[in-house]
Structure 1
């Protein structure tokens, strides 16, 4: 392939922009806030699991308290009923039976009320645990929001740089002959993002191989408009006054 030295040297400008775009893409994909946000997301997932367990404990305690309150209401209703019957009966036998039952009901109510106090404490403790977990989640959310703001600001700055580099690339690529540009793109794909490299002091800047022997002679004897490839990395080898040939 043939291309003037000036056209070949434009490939170095194009390569510089492509390298810059690669760097910006890497930085956009590896913002420092991303790792911290991922860690916060893992923490939040773990905390949500803990909250689910704690809330289950709270709900169980509340259900037990509701049952005890219902049992107390039933006992109190029976006490009220028996007390009313006691006031309206003249039967000695009925009086004795009602008084005995009222004593038993009073003991039952006292036992239930003692259980209520214990379960009420369990409910209060469980509510405290859930509230503490909710505070932790709120703290995680606040930290995540702060990191997201920093990430978005950093990403916006990098995106601005990327957009400017992409515009510059369009301009530079527009000045490169189509066949040379196509060849460069092919080399760039094969070369891991590097399609053209400067030959400086007989050394390819793409792979750091120093040309010697027949490889150097081939380059030295080539016409200025010959498009050469590095014998080591197979990238376009661009010659300038720095090449040392």
Structure 2
């Protein structure tokens, strides 16, 4: 294949643009915030497992407290009822029975109030633990949101850079013969490099130094011959730096 030497040199500019596109795309996919966010999300997921368990403990304590408070209310109602009946009773037998029941209810209420106090203390402790974990969850979520904002801003900047590079690439490609661009793309698909400067007999893509027949072939080839590196297949662009 033949192509004007100037057109071949344009491939170096195209390769520079493509290398930059690859570099910027890699940066976009490997922003430090991405790994940091993933680590924090994992921490938050683990924390939310704890949070669910701790919330369960809070809800259990609240349920127990509500049950005891309901029992206390029932006992209070019965004490009020029996006291009223005692005050209005004219029967010594009935009065004795009511007094006995009131003593029993008083002991029941005392036991319930002791249990209520224990559950209130358990609830307070559970709520404190849950509150600390919930605060940690909020802190992690805020940090994740900050990192996501930074990540998105960086991505937007890199998208602009990629757009500028793509525009530059399109402009370059429009000045190069289609057949030469096709050969360049074919080489780039194979090795990642479409073209490379041959400097001092060394391929700029794979850094192989040409010797023997390979070097002799390059030296004897007309300037408009499109040559490829025998090692990586990149189009070798010859200039005064090639050392031929």
Query: What residue is the counterpart of 1:146 in the other structure?
Result: 146
How far residue 208 of structure 1 moved from its aligned partner, in angstroms, is 0.9
* TM-fit CA distance, 1:36: 1.0
Query: Which residue in 2 is equivalent to 1:3?
Result: 3
- Alignment partners' CA distance in 2, 1:186 and 1:124: 71
Aligned-pair distance for 1:43? 1.2
Partner of 2:29: 29
Report the counterpart of residue 120 of structure 1 in structure 2: 120
Residue number in structure 2 paired with 1:207:
206
What's the CA shift for 1:46?
1.0
After superposition, where does 1:103-182 map in structure 2 within 5 Å?
103-182=103-182
CA distance in 2, matches of 1:36, 1:215: 49
Could you tell me which residue of structure 2 aligns to residue 16 of structure 1? 16
Q: Secondary structure at the match of 1:89?
A: coil
- Separation in structure 2 between the aligned mates of residue 204 and residue 218 of structure 1, nearest angstrom: 14
- Structure 1 residues 2-23: Cα deviation after superposition (integer angstroms, max 9, x where no partner): 1111111111100000000000
In structure 1, the gaps of 5 or more residues are: none
- In structure 2, the partner of 1:93 is 93
C-alpha offsets along residues 10-58 of structure 1, whole Å, 9 cap, x if unaligned?
1110000000000000001111111111111111111111110000000
Size of the alignment, in residue pairs? 244
Matches within 5 A, 1:230-245: 230-245=229-244
Measured against aligned partners, the alpha-carbon deviations of 1:58-84 in whole angstroms (never above 9, x if no partner) come to 000000000000110111111111111
Whole-Å separation in 1 of the counterparts to 2:76 and 2:139 = 46
- Specify the alignment match of 2:216 in structure 1: 217
Q: Deviations over 1:113-164 (max 9, x none)?
A: 0100110111111111111112111211222222223222322222222221
> For residues 78 and 200 of structure 2, what CA distance do their matches in structure 1 show?
107
1:79 paired to 2:72: no
CA distance in 1, matches of 2:135, 2:15: 52
Aligned-partner Cα distance in 2 for 1:188–1:216 = 22
Structure 2 runs not aligned, ≥5 long = none
- Tell me how far 1:95 sits from its aligned partner: 1.1
